[in-house]
Amino acid sequence: MSSDESKNALDLVLPGASDTRQEVMTWLASLAKERRLSPKTVEAYARDLRQFLTFLTGHLGEAPSVRAILGLKPLDIRSFLAARRMETVGSRSLMRQLAALRSFARHLEREGHGTASAFAAIRTPKVDKNLPRPLSAASAVAVTDTELRSGENRKAWVLARDAAVLALLYGAGLRISEALGLQRRDAPIHGTDSITVTGKGGKMRSVPVIPAIQEAVEEYLHLCPYVLPPEGPLFVGARGGPLSPRIIQLAVEELRGALGLPDSATPHALRHSFATHLLARGGDLRGIQELLGHASLSTTQLYTKVDAARLMDAFDSAHPRARAKG
């Protein structure tokens, strides 16, 4: 089907007055050519707007013209979103749909038709935070094992480096940015039982370090071919520069295949596993909150989905890696 035929076919199924349909076609064309959105995204935006125009036809009692769309009130748009909710449409879909409507409204304004203020007045639907599913304790421990990747065409020090970073994510609950932000002088070695990390908002916290982490970092430093200055990064890339988070993400992707883990097994899932496994062994939410560096307890509760009534056991007896070394 040619582009003209596609345009004619779409025009036939679009609801709305003739001027509205014309503006929709111009808008979709600009999305594809000027903003270079993918065909699937353009198709999704077209579908979103088509649903809105269909709703307006019934809501207003006639095919909506450009003038009618510009004259809409926030209540009209909220009514549409409420109707979509009744059809069990999720927040993410509604968020995208509202983005499509706002994009079309801005198009009408750019074309000189007037101001479509109602669209900007609508709050974006809240989207539930989806945390990665925690790994089993056995899988989380396996991810930090260099032997699993021994068959890869990687230098031994690179495998040891990746294992040390992943050990910090699972064994200490660090964010990947926190682990890669450590300096050489911060290295938890020679019996060091805690490290100070800088989290979100520059907030610093002290985190216990179990022997398994110390051993992983010591092995990495023993094999690393570069001289690491005290003020420089602890973990470096293949050429000696700062290590990119993407490298660790790729390492976990390879481990997923080796272990048969789902796509939800990511570096951040190791941090989530840290919290979940501690809690399963009697960890207290308030203590886990401090270990994770969460500003509020509600964030920690989101991670763990449980009551805060449990008491905190000693860290080295609660964490499965520590148990294995005990």
Q: Is the dihedral of CA 134, 137, 143, 144 positive or negative?
A: positive
Summarize pLDDT for 75-100 with one digit per residue, the tens. 999 898 888 888 877 777 788 888 88
Task: Determine the pLDDT at residue 269.
Answer: 83
- Who has greater pLDDT, 307 or 321? 321
The string of pLDDT tens digits covering residues 10-54 is 444 678 889 999 999 999 988 888 777 778 878 888 888 999 999
Mean pLDDT of 141-166: 83
Residue in 150, 161, 154, 81 with CA at minimum distance from that of residue 121: 81
Cα–Cα distance, 29 to 20 (Å, whole number): 14
The residue from 45, 170, 220, 303 that is catalytic is 303
Q: What is the pLDDT of residue 217?
A: 95
pTM over cut 0.75:
no
Whether the pLDDT of residue 313 is over 50: the answer is no
**Tokens representing 171?**
């064994």
pLDDT score of 127: 56
The correct CATH number of 3-120 out of 1.10.150, 2.30.30, 1.20.1530, 1.10.20 is 1.10.150
Q: Yes or no: is domain 137-325 CATH 1.10.443.10? A: yes
* Catalytic status, residue 271: yes
Query: Which residue of the set 107, 175, 277, 319 is catalytic?
Result: 175
Residues of the chain within CATH 1.10.150 domain(s) are: 3-120
Active site residue 175: yes
45 is catalytic: no
Question: pLDDT grade, residue 159 (50/70/90)?
Answer: very high
Among 10-19, 61-70, 297-306, which stretch is predicted with the lowest mean pLDDT? 297-306
Active-site residue 239, yes or no? Answer: no
Asked if the model's pLDDT at residue 132 lies above 80, the reply is no
